[in-house]
Amino acid sequence: MLSSTVPEGGRRWFGWSVGLAVLAQLALFAWATAPGLAGTADSGFYLHAAGTLRTAGRLLHPDGTAYRYWPPLYPVLVALAGSLGALRLVHAVALALSVVAWSKLGRRLLPLRASLVLPWALALSTPWLVVSKFVWGEAVFLVLVAGYVLALFQGLHTWRGSWWALATAVGFLLPLQRTAGFFLLAGLAVGLLLQHKQLGLKQRMFVAGHFALTGLGGVVWHFYALLLAAPSVYKLNRGWAQFLAQLLIMGLY
């Protein structure tokens, strides 16, 4: 841990590095989005769904069918934001918090010099800046992943209920923001399953309960999206092959 291996001066340098990196990142974001957030065809679906949620209380596609091609969290956030200007602020906060969360994790895992460089590598990341410039869900997914990994890391090292509660809450949102969140949760679950012999009974209960709850929301959403929202396309009697094939396709989103 940093407190036991790094002098006070090193911690101050780390704080300055993170703070200045976040300011640099926000300056780049402000410059890139000065004309406003950009849009693509996907953005149109998000904005339309957000609009119908505000006016009709339902997420709908532009053709009037139920919104189901992407998970629901991002258009809900767009609806809550209320304007593209407010959504731009949401993206900026998500980027800043992503840098802070990954930097805090890096401080725990990396040598001091590397931990000082990490915030700048993240803040100047072209992929992060590009996806945050558009009305896309990636910026929010980035901060959810960062917060989840940091909380899970702390939970596994302290086994405090508060960290596990935070990791569970954030992890629950992951597959509701991007279907890729399912694969992240599945990979971590498999990894911890392989280490089950090193865990006590209470720790196994923490892990089992955590992954059962984090996947629940995503399972309910995909059941709705694949089997209820499009009954003329997806049929229950076509078996699991259809469900898994569609899940793999939607995993790109």
Confidence of residue 241 (pLDDT cuts 50, 70, 90): low
Residues 146 and 125 in one domain: no
Do 149 and 116 meet the contact criterion of CB atoms below 8 Å apart?
A: no
Confidence of residue 136 (pLDDT cuts 50, 70, 90): very high
| pLDDT at residue 26, rounded to an integer | 97
Residues 131 and 152 in one domain: no
Residues 95 and 157 in one domain: no
Residues 51 and 152 in one domain: no
More confident residue, 6 or 90: 90
Residues 220 and 206 in one domain: yes
Confidence of residue 2 (pLDDT cuts 50, 70, 90): very low
pLDDT of 251 > 60? The answer is no
Distance CA 39, CA 15 (A): 35
Distance CA 149, CA 98 (A): 11
- Cβ atoms within 10 Å, residue 130: 13
pLDDT of 211 > 60? The answer is yes
Confidence of residue 246 (pLDDT cuts 50, 70, 90): low
Residues 67 and 1 in one domain: yes
Percentage of the residues of the chain whose pLDDT score is greater than 90:
72
- Tell me which of 136, 166, 189 is where a domain ends: 136
Query: 66 - beta bridge partners?
Result: 60
Lowest-confidence region among 3-7, 168-172, 221-225, 244-248: 3-7
Lowest-confidence region among 6-10, 93-97, 155-159, 186-190: 6-10
Confidence of residue 3 (pLDDT cuts 50, 70, 90): very low
pLDDT of 4 > 50? The answer is no
Distance CA 167, CA 145 (A): 10
pLDDT one-digit tens code per residue, 148-185? 999 999 999 999 999 999 999 999 999 999 989 988 99
Residues 20 and 86 in one domain: yes
On average, the pLDDT of the chain sits at: 89
Q: Which three-class secondary structure state does DSSP give residue 2?
A: helix
Residues 212 and 190 in one domain: yes
Indicate the number of domains in the chain: 2
pLDDT of 75 > 60? The answer is yes
| pLDDT at residue 51, rounded to an integer | 97
Do 34 and 84 meet the contact criterion of CB atoms below 8 Å apart?
A: no
Residues 98 and 156 in one domain: no
Q: Is 87 exposed, middle or buried (0-12, 13-18, 19+ CB in 10 A)?
A: buried
- Tell me which of 136, 158, 179 is where a domain ends: 136
Distance CA 83, CA 147 (A): 25
pLDDT of 106 > 80? The answer is yes
Q: Is 120 exposed, middle or buried (0-12, 13-18, 19+ CB in 10 A)?
A: middle
Q: Mean pLDDT throughout 55-82?
A: 94
Residues 72 and 152 in one domain: no
Residue closest to 185 by CA, chosen among 195, 170, 200, 203: 170
Residues 89 and 25 in one domain: yes
Percentage of the residues of the chain whose pLDDT score is greater than 70:
87
- Tell me which of 83, 118, 136 is where a domain ends: 136
| pLDDT at residue 1, rounded to an integer | 44
Range of the domain at 88: 1-136
pLDDT of 250 > 60? The answer is no
Residues 131 and 141 in one domain: no
Q: Mean pLDDT throughout 64-72?
A: 92
